[in-house]
Structure 1
Amino acid sequence: MRRKWIVFSIAVLSLFGLSAGPAAASGRDFAPPGCFGERYGILFGQGVSVSCFPGTGYGYRVLAHCTSGSAFWFVAGLPVPYGFGPAVAECSGDLLVPARLVAYQVDEI
Structure 2
Amino acid sequence: MRRKLAVLAVAVFSLFGLSVVPAAAAGGDFAPPGCFGERYGTLFGQGVSVSCFPGEGYGYRVIAQCANGSAFWYVAGDFVPYGFGPAVAECAGALLVPARVVAYRVDEI
TM range (shorter): 0.7 to 0.9
In the alignment, the residues of structure 1 paired with residue 19 and residue 43 of structure 2 have an alpha-carbon distance, to the nearest angstrom, of: 26
Residue deviations 1:54-108 (CA, integer Å, cap 9, x gap): 0011010000011122322111111111111111100000001111211100000
1:13 and 2:9 matched: no
Query: Shift of the alpha carbon at 1:38?
Result: 1.1
Gaps of 5+ in 1: none
Q: Which ranges of 4 or more aligned residues in structure 1 deviate by more than 6 Å?
A: none
TM-score by length of 2: 0.88
1:91 and 2:91 matched: yes
- For residue 100 of structure 2, what is the aligned residue in structure 1? 100
Q: Match for 1:21: what amino acid?
A: V
- For residue 25 of structure 2, what is the aligned residue in structure 1? 26
Q: Match for 1:83: what amino acid?
A: G
User: What's the % identity of the aligned pairs?
Assistant: 67
Aligned pair count reads 108
Partner of 2:29, secondary structure, is: coil
Query: Shift of the alpha carbon at 1:5?
Result: 5.9
Q: CA RMSD in A?
A: 1.6
